[in-house]
Amino acid sequence: MFAGNTNDTKTVREIVEAMEAKYGRAQRIWVFDRGVVSEENLQHLGERDGQYVVGTPKSMLRKLEQQLVAAGWDEVAAGVEVKFCPSPDGEETLVLAKSRDRAAKEEAMHQRFVERIETGLTAIGKAAASGRLKDPEKAGRRIGRLLGQNSRGAGCFQVEVKVLEPPQGKVRLQIEWSKQTAWQQWARLSEGCYLLRSNLTGHSAAELSKMYMQLVDAEAAFRTHKSDLVLRPIWHQYENRVQAHILICFLAYVLWKTLEQWMRTSGLGSAPRTLLNELRRLKSTDVILPTDQGREIRLRCVSRPDDDLAILLYRLKIAPPSRLQPPRWLPKDAVPAASGASPM
């Protein structure tokens, strides 16, 4: 557990040393995404004979522009191709990869940011033309803020603020902008591509790529916590509360993966969210019957599943009870007495 303002690159040394202290210096392969990688961390791993497969900053692709258009790609999965690239120092293995799905995602992302910038520049231009925006510095700040908020598409635009002095003497601003063809061409070429670095030898490009893609499972776990389990980060003031929150997240995820494995072995796929949505149709109802003596007879009944839900329950080997009773470990005085209820 690290302080909230700890940069990701500062966590690697402590994690590596903690793992080695607990489990020894095994032939362990470390896989990092590009947000954790730094030259200092890789040097530290090399000094400890550590092996790694790591992502690299997007800017490194610029040095391999010729490799992106050259032949020699091998398809390792549907829509995913990889190939080796020459390393400048010869000490590392470089793997260039491109994904069709990732390219489509990045293309849509670039288009969204470009459209946002176009809309913003148009609005700023109208404000300048109408005379409502007169200060060049203020116009520059608005443009800078717009480009900063949409940095993924900022390189596409060249923007200029011109100060016009018409004969009437009233200063007017004119916002001129254009799209950069070079940026658009590079964006189309590099979309869906990423570069991996490794000090491993004797492995194919496909094997190194599959090692790195294990990070997808880790990212999926975080998405499950945030979306399906609704366990998003919460601000805690005390360390013990942070630890308790992490424990609850971990236990919830264990139950989620257990249900996923249960479904898989039952031939129901591996989407617990879908199953839980189906199980919501199974309702519990309290039937309350008043008596002449002033007491109430309370029966907690379970609705009968429809045919589709009954098939799911049968596949999971679950037989829902017709009535529910309090757990046997509860003291008798903890639950209102219910006469006439039959045992489950």
pLDDT tens profile 297-332? 888 888 888 888 888 888 888 888 777 776 555 555
Q: pLDDT class for 280, splitting at 50, 70, 90?
A: confident
Q: pLDDT class for 196, splitting at 50, 70, 90?
A: very high
Direct distance between the N- and C-terminal alpha carbons of the chain, in angstroms, rounded to an integer: 45
What values do phi and psi take at 125, rounded to 5? -65, -40
Q: Determine if the pTM surpasses 0.85.
A: no
Q: pLDDT class for 141, splitting at 50, 70, 90?
A: very high
Mean pLDDT, residues 110-121: 96
Q: Is the pLDDT of residue 133 over 60?
A: yes
The whole-angstrom distance between residue 277's C-alpha and the CA centroid of its chain comes to: 23
More confident of the two residues 87 and 148: 148
Contact 296, 340 (CB under 8 A): no
- Residue 193: closest CA among 105, 71, 94, 99: 99
Longest distance between any two alpha carbons in the chain, whole Å: 98
pLDDT tens profile 151-182? 999 999 999 999 887 766 677 889 999 999 99
Q: Give residue 304's pLDDT.
A: 85
Q: Give residue 334's pLDDT.
A: 54
| 257: its two tokens | 């993966």
Q: For residue 201, how many C-alpha atoms fall within 13 Å in the half-sphere facing its CB?
A: 3
| 97: its two tokens | 């990869």
Question: How far is residue 205's CA from residue 207's CA, in Å, rounded to a whole number?
Answer: 5
- Residue 194: closest CA among 13, 78, 55, 333: 55
